[in-house]
Structure 1
Amino acid sequence: MTSNDVGGEQIWNPQRLRSGNERLLLGLLRSGGPASRAQLARTTGLSKPTVSSALASLEQAGLVREAGVHTPERGRTAVLYAPDPTAGYALGIDIGRAWLRVALADLDGTVVARTEVRNQARTSGPMADLVVATARELVGSSGVAPATIVQAVVGTPGVYDEELRRVRFAGNLPGWGRPGLFDRMREGLGLPLAVHNDANLAALGEYTVGVGAGSRLFVYLMIGTGLGMGVVSEGRLFTGAHGGAGEIGFMPWPGRQGPGTLEGLVAGDAVVAAAREHGMTGDLSAKDVFDAARSGDPAAVEAVELEGERLAHTVAAVSAVLDPDLVVLGGGIGHSADLLLRTVRSALRSLTPIRPRVAASTLGEDAVLHGALAIALDTARDVVFERRPHPGRLHS
């Protein structure tokens, strides 16, 4: 038992109290915007000397700075304080089959540098090296000191197994399940690196800065080469017991040629197959089919209509289990939600009495990146706060 513990419970001491006050004030400034010492004292109920001492400590640590003055109609002019966004930075990385996207953000969440490159790597090793090289080049050109970057988060297809240190269920990225790849990235970047499923991050990104903001239970469907789902409940990701919640592509689904999966019925290859069945020919992608549907091609229109109906069945199945208030269509096929929403909404009315609002993603291709930054920033803010010096001469 330490001097700070009684029966396993932490007891009061002055340093812990000061730390709690500083964290409270920093959180208020981050969520509520610049404020004066008097405003913070009124909001928190802390004494003005306590607020002044805590702000002085935070300012000395480089976590807050003066942000102008407030001049009331009556009374004295007051200095306003705000978090210093340059106290640390976070790196977000989105690894997709076709593109690699990387962004660097300050502690306010402002993206200060961003890049995207074609993912032309054909095996896992060169792909990991491409991630490191792209991120390091971005940081080098950003003007941000590498030592101030405290956390990176990467989004990838599949489910990361922390114990085995490998990704499962990432069939569209050859060799991506090999152990040690993300350790290789951590070493190359010289940063703590957390790994998350891309659909989960897209859901969190859409919830944080997109159309999902304010939803109690929000579902994001990532429809593209594969099919994935992210679930955000009360602002937090729901990932299941082993990280596999949302892997709805594996859901068994009956087909004309025997048992299949939901992914085989809804993802990009299914759109192309439906278009061919209705008479389209040539070298086709799902994007080609949607482009042709916009131009009025009858076969493409039929294929897109079928895709909308199948997505309605997907939404109905998800709604029966989760009862979301909002389902967002994202991913490559989700980018064509303007052609799908009417059919999805209409078919949903005939399938189930549980009908959430269905909308298109507002973040498009950046949804995963925004989610990666959101998680990285949460960690970075905590790390920067915990690393701050504790000047013993400042007392509350």
Structure 2
Amino acid sequence: MRQPEPPEVAPPPLPDLLIFSAPFHPAVGGMERFAEDLATGLTQLGYHVELATRTPAAADDASAFPYPVTRVAGWVELARALLRHPLVVFVGLTFYDVLLATLLRRRIVLTHHGPYAIYGDERRFTAGNVKRWMSRFYHNICVSEYLAGWLPGQPLVIHNGYRDDLFKPSSGARRPGSFAFVGRLVTEKGADLLLRSFARLRALRTDIHLTVIGDGPQYAMLVALAATLECAEAVTFAGAQPAGAVAAMLAQQACLVVPSIGDEPFGIVALEGLAAGCEVIVTRRGGLPEAVGGFGWVVEPAVEPLCETMLAVQAGASRRSEPGLRLFLADHQRKTVARRYAEAIAGFAWQRRKR
């Protein structure tokens, strides 16, 4: 006798969540880029995503996103956005926003993109210490093993990804002896250290060039420093550039240098340099060694070791070993990272049901 067909079971509803990132487009930075990439990746995986932010839109901005973006100006607007979704993923722990979500009984996942410490601040009682203590009451995801060491317990670590649709090698020739810096021109990024190392290298090799991509409060000081070091004619200050232009510029450079003197939570720019086909030199600060995964050069943040490594790269030395590098980059593509977040969120929900 033929067995009856089992009844069709409706698939579970697609996951529904709110991503809250206080900074977002048109602001530019690592957290803004992370929020945009995570929201895009989860949307592509079938999640119903809304992104809420406190960053106002630019008057002339016509950017479109594959998910709704809600720009909140006050607590009532944020509360309404929170109540539309059972789950909230925070890009960084913003104290009062997380408290509001807790009071509204939302499920909460915190993603951490810094140690909540200000560079050079060694005080014992700070808002950052309070945030780190507060994190123990929520599910936590850190972007590096280095950063996980700042938080209590054993937070999950998921490395950041990069825009694999933009950052890729070019078929064109790279300019020999070309070095690049990409980042905000602030003290902790170490652009002045790079200039001093570059000037020393140029005393040995005159056929080199440095392109500084970025803007910030140190811009005028760095231009003056290049003149003082007598290497201004070999340095181009390109200013801030959109991601597509940065990708195109890196695809023409021989080496990207990330000379941070402050501890970086991870270092997406190092990944982007690897993906664009550059040799990459990073300092031994924070999560930067994790960002190059053994396929870049890791040095102490000082003039001599940085200059020596740049000289080795100029002479043709390389850390870009295949096929390991291809696998490393594939493991950090935007969709791969979004899938890891989806798996983590599902795992957190399962833990909640078991309690």
**Fold-level similarity (TM above 0.5):** no
Higher helix share: 1
TM-score, length-scaled by structure 2: 0.38
Which structure has the greater CA radius of gyration?
1
Which protein has the bigger strand share? 1
* Superposition TM-score, scaled by structure 1 size: 0.35
